[in-house]
């Protein structure tokens, strides 16, 4: 491997089987994660062609999207959800794929479970039929969301055809201010570069801000890469990565782990690594961030007012006007103080134990506003168990939150957790598209878990730094 190669190109070349006539590369896929929504049709494609899963040991299934987080008694009340659950149970049994279902204490959101179990490791190629597979790039892997037909192809061949994207290094240096989280960093990057800014690129996140982040914070950042248009995002493995993976069930053990760790660290982009583009941001410019529109790029710092339509290029103003109409907001109004109806802490972006710990600090000793429905949905059964052991469930319940079972929940509302009418939800999830949270007129404000917690107890968008007593300067 050349000293001028960045991690992305190193890992790509290590997994390239051959270059196809189309100009795409055929890549070997190291880990295939599947769930109940995008896999039924893929398994049917295999049956129709008389194919088997080539390497079932490289495929892991869990259930998350349609799983109820309140009443999990079978059969599920939603008939379609029950059909999907039955299908993945049948398919995994027939094709020899390990399934983490609701009776397994390892079950949870696919992008929480993979890292938690040590399945996700540096230097791997990882795919899943889900947009936010980029989460796993936090470990220094190439992690891609794929479609249903590609799921079938990977099941049958353990490879897929891909065009190599360019690589952009996104650097953030400096000190983050009080109350500013990984979620704020990634929302800020998307705001600055736009939802199409990353098209054709993989993002390498670099700089001392990411160096100081925990693995769970890095996962939040990489999770949102797709929302900025990037094909994937990653962070170079370092000692933080190694320490996180040590002792995980599927990570190497003993001497094998030490050898693996040495190789993982060797993959990192070196000081002479070359990139197709570079953008840099100053951490001091980032404050707690809230989306106000219908794309993740439509956001402001909590102290800001909403932008004037005229501040956008002429070809973007139609979308901005549409966003204001849909969200029932007005240009130049402050986002702080905007009344909310629902508060949701969860999703593959922000449902890990550190997210719940920080949110609990905000709500402890306070109570959810009378008009707000608030719920906390852990990202996995193991996260839920750990939170209970730490007494976090009691803090949330005493504060008036609903404490739920593990699942995707209100992030995409393919389950009973949905907005009603034009309710406005403060959400720690990743998408604020029209109707995303289950109601065709429902409205979403994306923010960090601590900002959601602050909004829940205040009844409106609130600067978490004021609740926690931190200076806003």
Does the N-terminal peptide bond of residue 75 adopt cis geometry, omega within 30 degrees of 0?
yes
Tokens matching residue 139: 């470990």
CA dist 320 and 298 (Å) reads 9
CA dist 450 and 358 (Å) reads 6
CA dist 337 and 340 (Å) reads 9
- Contact status, residue 376 vs residue 396, Cβ threshold 8 Å: yes
The answer on whether 348 is annotated among ligand-binding residues is yes
- Contact status, residue 371 vs residue 459, Cβ threshold 8 Å: yes
- Pick the closest to residue 20 from 127, 123, 163 (CA basis): 163
Burial 365-391 (b: 16+ CB within 10 A, else e): ebebbeebbbbbbbbbbbbbebbeeee
Q: Name residue, tokens 């060797």.
A: 266
**How many other CB atoms are there within 10 angstroms of residue 108's CB atom?**
32
- Contact status, residue 35 vs residue 107, Cβ threshold 8 Å: no
Residues 6+ apart with CB under 8 A from 72: 102, 405
Compute φ and ψ for 25, nearest 5 degrees: -100, 145
Long-range contacts of 145-153 (CB under 8 A, 24+ apart): 145/226, 147/38, 148/38, 148/39, 148/41, 148/42, 149/42, 149/45, 151/32, 151/34, 151/38, 151/39, 151/42, 151/127, 152/41, 152/42, 152/43, 152/45, 152/46
The sign one gets for the Cα dihedral 286, 463, 404, 86 is negative
Binding residue ranges: 348, 408, 411
Q: Which amino acids are annotated as binding site for [4Fe-4S] cluster, given as ranges?
A: 348, 408, 411
């Amino acid at each position: 491997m050349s000293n001028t190669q960045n991690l992305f190109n190193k890992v790509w070349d290590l997994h390239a089987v051959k270059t196809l006539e189309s100009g795409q590369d055929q890549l070997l896929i190291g880990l295939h994660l599947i769930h109940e929504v995008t896999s039924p049709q893929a398994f049917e494609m295999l049956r129709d062609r008389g194919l088997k899963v080539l390497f079932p040991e490289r495929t892991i299934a869990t259930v998350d999207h349609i799983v109820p987080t309140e009443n999990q008694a079978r059969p599920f009340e939603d008939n379609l959800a029950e059909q999907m659950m039955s299908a993945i149970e049948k398919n995994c049994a027939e094709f020899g794929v390990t399934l983490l279902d609701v009776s397994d204490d390892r079950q949870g959101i696919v992008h929480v479970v993979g890292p938690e179990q040590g399945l996700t490791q540096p230097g791997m190629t990882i795919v899943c039929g889900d947009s936010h597979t980029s989460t796993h790039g936090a470990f220094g892997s190439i992690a891609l969301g794929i479609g249903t037909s590609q799921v079938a192809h990977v099941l049958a061949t353990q490879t897929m055809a891909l065009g190599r994207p360019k690589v952009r290094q996104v650097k953030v240096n400096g000190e983050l201010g009080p109350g500013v989280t990984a979620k704020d960093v990634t929302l800020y990057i998307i705001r600055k570069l736009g939802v199409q800014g990353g098209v054709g690129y993989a993002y390498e996140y670099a700089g001392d801000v990411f160096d100081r982040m925990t693995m769970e914070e890095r996962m939040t950042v990489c999770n949102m890469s797709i929302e900025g248009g990037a094909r994937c995002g990653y962070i170079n493995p370092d000692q933080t990565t190694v320490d996180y993976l040590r002792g995980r069930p599927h990570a190497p053990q003993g001497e094998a782990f030490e050898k693996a760790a040495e190789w993982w660290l060797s993959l990192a982009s070196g000081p002479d690594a070359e990139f197709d583009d570079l953008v840099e941001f100053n951490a001091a410019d980032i404050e707690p961030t809230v989306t106000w529109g219908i794309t993740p790029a439509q956001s402001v710092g909590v102290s800001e007012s909403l932008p004037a339509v005229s501040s956008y290029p002429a070809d973007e103003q139609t979308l901005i006007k549409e966003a204001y109409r849909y969200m029932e907001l007005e240009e130049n109004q402050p986002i702080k103080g905007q009344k909310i109806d629902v508060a949701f802490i969860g999703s593959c972006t922000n449902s890990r134990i550190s997210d719940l710990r920080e949110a609990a600090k905000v709500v402890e000793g306070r109570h959810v506003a009378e008009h707000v429905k608030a719920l906390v949905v852990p990202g996995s059964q193991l996260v839920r168990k750990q939170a209970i052991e730490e007494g976090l469930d009691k803090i949330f319940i005493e504060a008036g939150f609903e404490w739920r079972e593990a699942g995707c929940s209100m992030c995409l509302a393919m389950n009973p957790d949905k907005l009603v009418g034009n309710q406005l939800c403060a959400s720690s999830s990743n998408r604020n598209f029209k109707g995303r949270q289950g109601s065709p007129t429902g409205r979403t404000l994306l923010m960090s878990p601590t900002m959601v917690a602050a909004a829940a107890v205040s009844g409106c968008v609130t600067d978490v730094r004021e609740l926690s007593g931190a200076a806003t300067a």
